[in-house]
Copies of this chain bind each other. A is one copy, B any other.
């Protein structure tokens, strides 16, 4: 059985390595069990199950923490500092060391306090959003900022605290590099969007809205067909619905969820393709390294690069719509008059006045992210106070996106992330999109006629390229190194800016 071989090179490994890996596997299995419990909570669990489920999750979380921070783990890591290890073994030790160091440096009381604050902040955020009253949520955001500063101080008192927090989500991509990318994004996109609005041609946006509603059951069938077309292996996955689409699991069992809006068939479609991208990453991790760092994903930006690559570079391409549109019309005969060009335009329109991140298009999306990134950096640095957030938020929306929210509900209260105390998470969304562009450009260079393959519904060459260059490495390489291995270049925003300049230049007939 494939999994028997996990830690495949353990025969030639020092005992400390074998023991360390054994412990890590237990940690990973407990975490994966927790992942399944969370999936069930969001997809299957009856609402009454929460009191028991939250205790189960909390027990699993504390157990995996205890296993990871066991004194023996520290001793084994020390012993392996100067040991003679293979590259793979060295990567495993590096990854466990990073997790261990972080886990032991934060007092459990503080972890507990952050967890409690999140539990209290969530309903406060929900209430604030429902009642459009930022002041209900502000004290909890304030508390989170304080606790997270303290948290960062424990981990590394000499580092910019925001950088420490960013590393929770992106442990091996330097913040400086990330920031350069985000700055370039902003400097490219703000004028480009302005130019599209002022000089761009009118494009068709109503291909899928002019015919009325699309029943949920038919949308579901279409999404299942699309997953099959893309090559989703149903024997290792399943699709369900949840209030927020997500993917979860391992290479043996990588599930996706979606949600349906009867007025918007593109919503479920693109969210399904997006989650499919996440799932392919999990599925492409090597079976034989299950429950070890070599069988786990290289953090959020790489994960998001896979979802965005499939969603944007495949799903929003003309080539893909060549395959999709006939299938769409089979499920929805009323769309029979929609042309390929209309479909392509509707799938790629740049919105004039959207205020909501999760409804944004491929260009404006990143400005939503950059607003959040700049605000949370300033908050953690103490450059702005919590009470200033709504005003700063609205000013930045006006500056970058040309629209000003009229309420906090459609402004700074729209996302759940800060209620969890997650600062440093938002940038990974944009970094993933940017990485997707760089990876896709490299795949186009390496694969003969990739666009033709896609237009014929043949996704195998792309799957193979991604598995070979990204998935199969797990956490063997750090983030930039993984990108270099795959593309021959450092991770930058260049490929992304080239991509959007060409694509949207053509689409809106502008010379950006």
Q: Shortest distance in angstroms between A12's beta carbon and chain B's nearest beta carbon?
A: 23
What are 16 A-to-B residue pairs whose CB atoms are below 8 Å? A3-B52, A29-B58, A30-B56, A30-B60, A32-B52, A33-B59, A33-B60, A36-B56, A46-B237, A46-B253, A47-B235, A49-B249, A49-B250, A49-B252, A52-B290, A53-B252
Q: How far is the CB of A154 from chain B (nearest CB, A)?
A: 26
- Closest residue on chain B to residue A45 by CB atoms: B253
Given A26-B59, A59-B33, do A48 and B2 touch, yes or no (CB 8 Å)? no
Q: Check B30 against A63 for contact (C-beta < 8 Å).
A: yes
How close is A218's CB to chain B, nearest CB, in angstroms? 19
Q: Which residue from chain B places its CB closest to the CB of A31 in the assembled complex?
A: B56
A40 CA to B44 CA in the complex, in Å?
Answer: 10
In the complex, the chain B residue whose C-beta lies closest to that of A233 is B48
Q: By CB atoms of chain B within 10 A, which of A44, A52, A56, A249 has the most?
A: A52
Question: In this assembly, does A236 line the interface, its C-beta being within 8 Å of a C-beta of chain B?
Answer: yes
CB distance from A150 to the nearest CB of B (A): 27
Please, what's the 1-or-0 string for A231-253, where 1 marks a CB less than 8 Å from any CB in chain B? 00111111000000000011111
Is residue A297 within 8 Å, beta carbon to beta carbon, of the partner chain?
no
A56 and B40 within 8 A (CB) = no
Determine whether A37 belongs to the interface, using a CB cutoff of 8 Å to chain B: yes
Q: Do residues A44 and B238 form an inter-chain contact, with CB atoms below 8 A?
A: yes
State in angstroms the CA–CA spacing of A164 and B367 once bound together: 68
Task: Please name all residues of chain B whose beta carbon is closer than 8 Å to the beta carbon of A2 when the two chains form the complex.
Answer: 51
In the complex, A1 has a CB within 8 A of chain B = yes
A116 at the interface (CB under 8 A from B): no
**Closest CB of chain B to A229's CB: distance in Å?**
18
Question: Are the C-beta atoms of B290 and A51 separated by less than 8 Å?
Answer: yes
Flag whether A318 is at the interface (Cβ < 8 A). Answer: no
Query: A251: which B residues are within 8 A, CB to CB?
Result: 52
The 8 Å CB contact of A238, one of B3, B34, B46, B55, is B46
Known: A26-B63, A46-B253. A32 touches B51 (CB 8 A): no
Query: Most chain-B CB neighbours within 10 Å: which of A250, A253, A290?
Result: A253
Scoring A1, A25, A53, A237 by chain B CB atoms within 10 A of each residue's CB, the highest score goes to A53
Interface residues of A (CB under 8 A from B): 1-3, 25-26, 29-30, 32-34, 36-37, 40, 44-53, 55-56, 58-60, 63, 233-238, 249-253, 255, 287, 290-291
On whether the beta carbons of B59 and A252 are closer than 8 Å, the reply is no
A56-B33 in contact (CB<8A): yes
Smallest CB separation, A501 vs chain B (Å):
41
Evaluate contact between A252 and B50: CB separation under 8 angstroms. Answer: yes
Query: Which residues on B sit within 8 Å (CB–CB) of A48?
Result: 233, 235-236, 252-253
Q: Give the distance in Å from the alpha carbon of A37 to the alpha carbon of B253 in the complex.
A: 13
A13, chain B: closest CB distance, angstroms = 20
Distance between Cα atoms of A337 and B32 in the complex (Å)? 54
**Minimal beta-carbon separation of A7 from chain B (angstroms):** 12
A55: nearest chain-B partner, CB-CB: B29
For A33, A58, A238, A291, which residue has the most chain B Cβ atoms within 10 angstroms?
A: A33
Given A36-B40, A63-B26, A63-B63, is A3 in contact with B46 using a C-beta cutoff of 8 Å? no
Q: Across the interface, which residues of B come within 8 angstroms of A59, CB to CB?
A: 25-26, 29-30, 33
Query: Which residues of chain B are within 8 angstroms of A3 by Cβ–Cβ distance?
Result: 51-52, 55
Q: In the assembled complex, which residues on chain B have CB atoms less than 8 Å from the CB atom of A40? A: 36, 40
Residue of B nearest to A32 (CB): B56
Bound-complex Cα distance A2 to B249 (A) = 31
Closest B-chain residue to A240, C-beta based? Answer: B44
Q: Which residues of B contact A60 (CB under 8 A)?
A: 29-30, 33
Q: A46-B235, A49-B249 are in contact. List 7 more A-B contacts (CB 8 A).
A: A2-B51, A33-B60, A44-B44, A51-B252, A51-B287, A52-B251, A52-B291
Taken together as a complex, chains A and B put the C-alpha atoms of A265 and B44 apart, in Å, by 27
A25-B55 in contact given A33-B60, A36-B36 (Cβ < 8 Å)? yes
Most chain B CB neighbours (cut-off 10 Å) among A1, A30, A34: A30
Measured CB to CB, the nearest residue on chain B to A251 is: B52
In the complex, the answer to whether B55 meets A291 with C-beta atoms within 8 Å is: yes
Which B residues touch A53, using CB under 8 A? 252-253
Q: How far is the CA of A276 from the CA of B88 in the complex (A)?
A: 52
